[in-house]
Structure 1
Amino acid sequence: MSFIVRKASEEDTLPIQHFIAKTGVGKLPATVEWSSFLIAENEQGDFVSVIRIQKVTDDTGLLRTLIIDSDKVNSLFILEFLEATIHYALEEGLSNIYLLAAGEGTFLQPLGFAKTPADHLPGELTSLEDVQKHLSKGLPVFMKS
């Protein structure tokens, strides 16, 4: 099965919201730059995954809102989608790429991500409210090296 990965447009706003609601993931912030999403679609045009790349500074980005329809994809797809996302972020000039994880994230290591101690994170990142909440729960942050 093949997939198309593309940058979202304003027309994708409602489909992204429906996809996120269907997966049962929490709500997005009130203001979201919809073009910061990448979408993966199957051959039928159905969304199978979305991810948002938040630009924190000119060269620092945070991968967030990774949502996957696990009924439509396999674990290999997830790695390929993340690789495509990283490639896109690098093309956009983001040389420092971070990701908040709920666990140890061993699947991130082959992609070049390493767990980063909180005291090694840039202030622009740790000043974000949801990053502070994430860190206060003792959850890991990974950086693409």
Structure 2
Amino acid sequence: MGAVIRCALNDDVDNLMTFLERAGLSTDGVEGTIDSFLIMEDEKGNIQATIGIEQFGKVGLLRSLVMTSQTMKNDVYILFEQIFLLASEKGMKDIFMATNKIGAVKLVELLGFQQIKKTELPPVLSQAGHVQHVLTVDNSIFLKISL
């Protein structure tokens, strides 16, 4: 049996937060939004990758994409496919993401994301704490995909 992708549960909070901390990411808000995270784990139950989405009405912001070196390229596509399904089930119509890594931009553009200007962000997103922080990061890029 290979890797399994599933929605995170309350029991996963500590393991997920440890996984994110090891990757150098903030764990702010994870506990309250655990049902908006997907976990990919190996046959032993070890987290191999995760992706989360923060909901703002019909708008979503991708958060906390982390993969280990064992993650395969196809796993990334499956993770995105599954997070899009989760977002759709939660009523989101547009998904945004922010990055300052050119490699990430190229990857997500293959998935259908398009770069947008910071001024094109919906007001509800522009006011979000995480986005406020990203706006201060040099070379930050925002991308959008509509479901």
TM-score range, shorter chain: 0.7 to 0.9
Equivalent pairs counted in the alignment come to: 142
Q: Per-residue displacement from partner, 1:94-140 (whole Å, max 9, x unpaired)?
A: 11111111223011112110011111110000011221221233410
Gaps of 5+ in 2: none
CA distance in 1, matches of 2:2, 2:144: 29
- Which residue does the alignment assign to 2:110? 110
Secondary structure class of the residue paired with 1:32: helix
Task: Output one character per residue of 1:12-32: Cα deviation in whole Å (capped at 9) or x when no partner.
Answer: 111112222333x13311663
- Matching residue's letter, 1:142: L
TM-score (norm: length of structure 1): 0.87
Distance of 1:34 and 1:88 partners within structure 2: 13
String of CA shifts for 1:47-71, please: whole Å, max 9, x gaps: 11111110112x111110111112x
Partner of 1:33: helix, strand, or coil?
helix
CA distance in 1 between partners of 2:86 and 2:34 (Å): 16
Secondary structure at 2:32 match in 1: coil
Matched-pair identity in %: 25
In the alignment, what sits opposite 1:126?
126
> Aligned partners of 1:130 and 1:13: how far apart in 2?
20
Q: Which moved more, 1:112-121 or 1:27-36?
A: 27-36
- CA-based RMSD of the aligned residues comes to 1.8
Distance in 2 between the 1:119 and 1:88 partners? 27
